[in-house]
């Protein structure tokens, strides 16, 4: 997607690297992956409690994506283009996960035989969502600031040392500590009787809910 928007080769490297990082630094942060807490799997269908859990999960997700965009614009305003690109790529992870996860719980994700991350139609939709995000960021920043971002020709990938700084990921990776919880959730899920109703967010609704947030920064 970044190629279509004429990002520099260095910029593309930073974006792609950053888009992987929520899986390492925020593996246990459900909002980073467009997911719903496992407790919803133990609720009866169409109960107030279930609906409130899902509604909160969507709100947390929208907030997470918005925070990454604010980090992106803040870094850009300070002239830290590498860091701005990094946070944009980081946000792209969450937007693409909306397409493939649709609010799925860890329990269902870990127990299903068909990995939701690799379903062709949803993967294609994730590319579409990435395009929409970049279009929205362009409109939010305006051409001058967006060009400054995509024409970056300075330093490349952030190092592990840089990523572990206090203003980026001071706690380091959480993947190793949280993966066991993910697998355990899958084992619990398959033993729920009767099987829970799968959580499926209305992706277009969620997208329309958070994309307007980006336009608030236009031409600032």
Q: What is the DSSP string of 49-113?
A: HHHHHHHHHHHHHHHHHHHHHHHHHHHHHTT-HHHHHHHHHHHHHHHHHHHHHTEEEHHHHHH-S
Q: What proportion of the chain, given as a percentage, has pLDDT over 90?
A: 87
* pLDDT classification of 211: cutoffs 50, 70, 90: low
Indicate the average pLDDT of the chain. Answer: 92
Angle between helices 81-101 and 48-77 (to 10 degrees): 160
pLDDT higher at 134 or 207: 134
The pLDDT tens digits for 176-209 are: 999 999 999 999 999 999 999 999 999 988 987 7
String of b and e for 142-154 (b: at least 16 CB within 10 Å)?
Answer: eeebbeebbebee
* Predicted local confidence at residue 210, as pLDDT: 63
* Predicted local confidence at residue 4, as pLDDT: 84
Q: Which long-range contacts (CB under 8 A, 24 or more apart) does 204-208 make?
A: 206/34, 206/58, 206/61, 206/62, 206/98, 207/98, 207/129, 207/132
Per-residue pLDDT averaged across 154-179, rounded? 95
Task: Kindly list the distances between the CA atom of residue 189 and the CA atoms of 29, 48, 87, 91, 176, in Å, as whole numbers in the listed order.
Answer: 19, 21, 33, 29, 21
């Amino acid at each position: 997607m970044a190629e279509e928007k004429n990002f520099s080769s260095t910029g593309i490297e930073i974006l792609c690297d950053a888009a992987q990082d929520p899986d390492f630094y925020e593996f246990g942060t459900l909002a980073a992956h467009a997911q719903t807490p496992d407790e919803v799997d133990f609720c009866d269908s169409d109960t107030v409690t279930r609906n409130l859990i899902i509604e909160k999960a969507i709100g947390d997700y929208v907030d997470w994506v918005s925070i990454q965009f604010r980090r992106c614009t803040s870094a850009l305003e300070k002239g830290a283009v590498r860091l701005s690109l990094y946070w944009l790529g980081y946000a792209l992870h969450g937007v693409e996960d909306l397409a493939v996860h649709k609010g799925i719980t860890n329990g269902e994700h870990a127990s299903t035989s068909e990995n939701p991350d690799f379903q062709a139609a949803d993967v294609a939709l994730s590319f579409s969502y990435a395009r929409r995000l970049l279009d929205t960021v362009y409109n939010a920043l305006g051409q001058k600031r967006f060009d400054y971002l995509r024409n970056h020709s300075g330093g490349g990938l952030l190092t592990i040392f840089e990523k572990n700084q206090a203003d980026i990921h001071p706690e380091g990776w959480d993947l190793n500590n949280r993966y066991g919880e993910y697998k355990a959730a899958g084992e619990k899920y398959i033993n729920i009787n009767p099987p829970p109703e799968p959580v499926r967010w209305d992706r277009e609704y969620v997208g329309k809910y958070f994309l307007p947030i980006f336009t608030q920064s236009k031409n600032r």
